[in-house]
Structure 1
């Protein structure tokens, strides 16, 4: 049986010190864990539009979407599968403020990221993609 696939996007947003933008999830899956800003692609959206919307909703920042960094699949509720495509994105404007389903949002260095409770496989995936913060 084919599982229902849910298209999602995530953003790898770095500041000028190459710190990575992460959010603490307010809701399941991963409530209380730190992850990349992102979420579901809404009907009628392309990936870049979804990235811009999700980053704005969760962090208050406006970003310019760059290249696709990689794609992962993660277990989703009701036996579905999240298909998450992560893109590099550059912050353009806005004030960093957690919102929507994020209880906190911050730019972190590599040691700070490694000390946080992060979503399943986030660190190993970022390592594979050579995308850990500086």
Structure 2
């Protein structure tokens, strides 16, 4: 599999003061109607932090300061390609929470709310591995 078959993506782990996790309901495939972390493709010329900042603002209205890389996952993409998704810690520093762009809804959820949502494949188990589930 060549580099052109790998699609670079980023995601954001954003928590509020109560350690609730920011999640978005996806408006488009893959995973339309399911809940996931805000994020998306890295555009040409962007580094990961720039992509995280842009995607979070587009999908949730929040401006974030991007922190450490938490982990990386790979997911199948159409046409035998591969999404390579790097998830970063990020902290909300401004903006107003309002769903936009690829998100039907955006909200901070606690653990019980998270567990009750239909989330994208392997999101819950991946966050558990990373010790990153909401409080």
TM (normalized to structure 1)?
0.98
Instruction: Please state how far the C-alpha of 1:79 moved relative to its aligned partner.
Output: 1.3
Structure-2 separation of matches of 1:78 and 1:30: 16
Q: Which residue of 1 aligns with 2:8?
A: 7
Q: Does 1:77 align with 2:78?
A: yes
Structure-2 separation of matches of 1:29 and 1:79: 14
Structure-2 separation of matches of 1:57 and 1:70: 22
Q: Is there any run of 5+ residues in structure 2 with no aligned partner, and where?
A: none
Matches within 5 A, 1:90-105: 90-105=91-106
Instruction: Please state how far the C-alpha of 1:115 moved relative to its aligned partner.
Output: 0.3
Q: Does 1:127 align with 2:128?
A: yes
Q: Is there any run of 5+ residues in structure 1 with no aligned partner, and where?
A: none
RMSD value, Cα: 0.9
Structure-1 separation of matches of 2:76 and 2:27: 18
Aligned residues: 134
Matches within 5 A, 1:1-134: 1-2=1-2, 4-134=5-135
CA deviations 1:50-101 (Å, max 9, x no partner) are 0000000000000000000000000111211000000000000111000000
TM (normalized to structure 2)?
0.97
